[in-house]
Structure 1
Amino acid sequence: MRLHDREFLLLGGTGGIGQALIEPLVQAGARVIVASRHPDRIQHGAGVSAVRLDLAAEDLDLQLQMLSEAYPDIDGVIHCAGQNHFAGIDHLSVAAIDSQLLVNLRSAMLVARHFAPRFERKGLGALVFVGSTFGSIGFPGYTAYCASKFGLRGFSEALRRELADTPVQVVYVAPRATATAMNPEAVNELNQALGNRMDAPSAVASQILYAMENDARRRFLGWPEKLFVVLNGIVPRLVDKAMLKQLPVVRRFLNREVMS
């Protein structure tokens, strides 16, 4: 898809990956509307607008309607908002489970429900969903997060096939571990202990733009993470064994943030 002279709604623009997307989009000639619960935290510049949007709100569909009326030229949405909580299932509060499902999955579904028919009528539109490696591989301590991201991957796949005979493009990009403020210190230390590489938000942003510009339907980032995604789909027992070996290390860091 072309980026020049497009108007993108960016969800999660105050997070690490979202922030890293703004400048490259503007440099490519796009206009960017950054939606956040705290639009006052967004730095304004040429080609950038800030709007208030609460992705966990019960009336999200009404907020989207009002946003569309204010910005009728939107012809693309990039959904890279997300929440995670690294904790054992017995330490996950109901609020923590609900917030991840609302922001990571429900909001993406409502955004697509709102914009897909509008883009189809326009004859042009793109829905870009930023998922996770944990949308393909279940990982200890991330049960609710994995559930929401598995759901996002399945939703985007079904949506892409549902809209295959329309001009609406559906793109799914799955980063591996990324060095953002969303990660508590325990997660950073866990990744270091396991030898997991963490990508910079700018590197992830460039891969998202690459997927968009090259009309990729799905793109998984990182090696050997891409290999484990394939193995987990074909021979999950091998990944089970690998995870079992890592479990004692995971347990050293699990629930530390919750209990502190």
Structure 2
Amino acid sequence: MQLRDRTFLLLGGTGGIGQALVQPLLDTGARVVVASRTPEKINDDGVDRVRLDLAADDLPEQLASISSLYPQLDGVIHCAGQNQFSAIDQLDPAELDDLLRVNLRSALLVARHFVPRFSAMGRGDLVFVGSTFGSIGFPGYSAYCASKFGLRGFTEALRRELADTPIQVLYVAPRATRTDMNPERVNALNEALGNQMDDPANVAGQIIAAMKSDQRRRYLGWPERFFVVLNSLLPRLVDKAMLKQLPVVRRFLSGASQ
């Protein structure tokens, strides 16, 4: 997809991968509108700032307001997300609702809003940042995996629904990434399991590359890409591998990381 002279709405641009995307997007010659619950915290030069709460009941109305302010918007990058490392019996219902609203519900409502507008413009791109955990269920991440599995399925269905239109849909699935979204015990868990963690700037660069090369889906990291395929073909092998890791995961779930 062409990025120069485009106007992208960036969701989740105040931290982690989203924040790392800002400058690379600007470097391509794109205009960037960063949406956040706290736009006053956006310190990047050269961007527009708007207030948007992806978990809000009135999200459709908020999106309509942004479209009115920026009718030239012809791309959206949904990079917002919440994580939750918790045993199933320890899930907080309020936190669960918020996670599902931000990670999944908001993605559907964003597409619902922008698809007809992009169709009328004759162009438009929707980029959704998912996770390896959208393809591999991992103990301690049942809620997060549910939201990311849902996001992956949604983008696949949406891509096929729009296959005869000029609207492009891209799904990018990073592996573990060092962001403030992860509490310290999650970083420690990844280190204990030997999981590699990517820098947000590296992930942002791969997202830009996928956009430029008109990819439809991109999974990041090795051996994570291999395990995504293996899990879809021979899930019992992945079951056995994770069973060996389960005592370590349970130790961190209980908070006894030492």
Whether TM exceeds 0.5 here: the answer is yes
Deviation at 1:15, TM superposition (A): 1.8
Report the 3-state secondary structure (helix = DSSP H, G, I; strand = E; otherwise coil) of the residue aligned with 1:81: coil
2-structure distance, mates of 1:256, 1:36: 31
- Residue identity matched to 1:209: I
1-structure distance, mates of 2:156, 2:172: 11
Q: Judge conservation of contact 1:15–1:81 (CA < 8 Å) in 2.
A: no
* 1:21 has 2:21 as partner: yes
2-structure distance, mates of 1:115, 1:144: 27
- Residue identity matched to 2:60: D
1-structure distance, mates of 2:21, 2:136: 26
2-structure distance, mates of 1:109, 1:137: 22
Cα deviation 1:77-102 (Å, max 9, x = unaligned):
00010001101011110012111110
For residue 182 of structure 1, what is the aligned residue in structure 2?
A: 181
1-structure distance, mates of 2:29, 2:37: 26
Trace 1:1-260 onto structure 2 (pairs within 5 A): 1-46=1-46, 48-256=47-255
2-structure distance, mates of 1:118, 1:247: 47
- Residue identity matched to 1:31: R
- Residue identity matched to 1:182: M
Q: Judge conservation of contact 1:132–1:175 (CA < 8 Å) in 2.
A: yes
Question: Closer, same or farther in 2 for the Cα pair 1:92/1:128, shift >3 Å?
Answer: same
1-structure distance, mates of 2:225, 2:9: 28
2-structure distance, mates of 1:20, 1:60: 25
- Residue identity matched to 1:133: T
- Residue identity matched to 1:12: G
2-structure distance, mates of 1:7, 1:69: 14
What's the C-alpha RMSD, in Å, of the aligned pairs? 0.9
TM-score by length of 1: 0.97
Could you list the runs of 5+ residues in structure 1 that have no partner in the other structure?
A: none
Report the 3-state secondary structure (helix = DSSP H, G, I; strand = E; otherwise coil) of the residue aligned with 1:50: strand
TM-score by length of 2: 0.98
Deviation at 1:255, TM superposition (A): 4.2
1-structure distance, mates of 2:44, 2:128: 24
Report the 3-state secondary structure (helix = DSSP H, G, I; strand = E; otherwise coil) of the residue aligned with 2:242: helix
Deviation at 1:256, TM superposition (A): 2.4
Deviation at 1:42, TM superposition (A): 0.3
Deviation at 1:144, TM superposition (A): 0.4
Q: How many residues of Structure 1 are paired with residues of Structure 2 in the alignment?
A: 256
2-structure distance, mates of 1:165, 1:5: 24
Q: Judge conservation of contact 1:134–1:149 (CA < 8 Å) in 2.
A: yes
Q: Percent identity?
A: 71
Q: Judge conservation of contact 1:10–1:78 (CA < 8 Å) in 2.
A: yes
Q: Judge conservation of contact 1:87–1:255 (CA < 8 Å) in 2.
A: no
1-structure distance, mates of 2:148, 2:254: 21
2-structure distance, mates of 1:75, 1:255: 46
2-structure distance, mates of 1:248, 1:114: 44
Deviation at 1:43, TM superposition (A): 1.3
Q: Judge conservation of contact 1:32–1:49 (CA < 8 Å) in 2.
A: yes
Could you list the runs of 5+ residues in structure 2 that have no partner in the other structure?
A: none
Deviation at 1:44, TM superposition (A): 4.3
Deviation at 1:179, TM superposition (A): 0.3
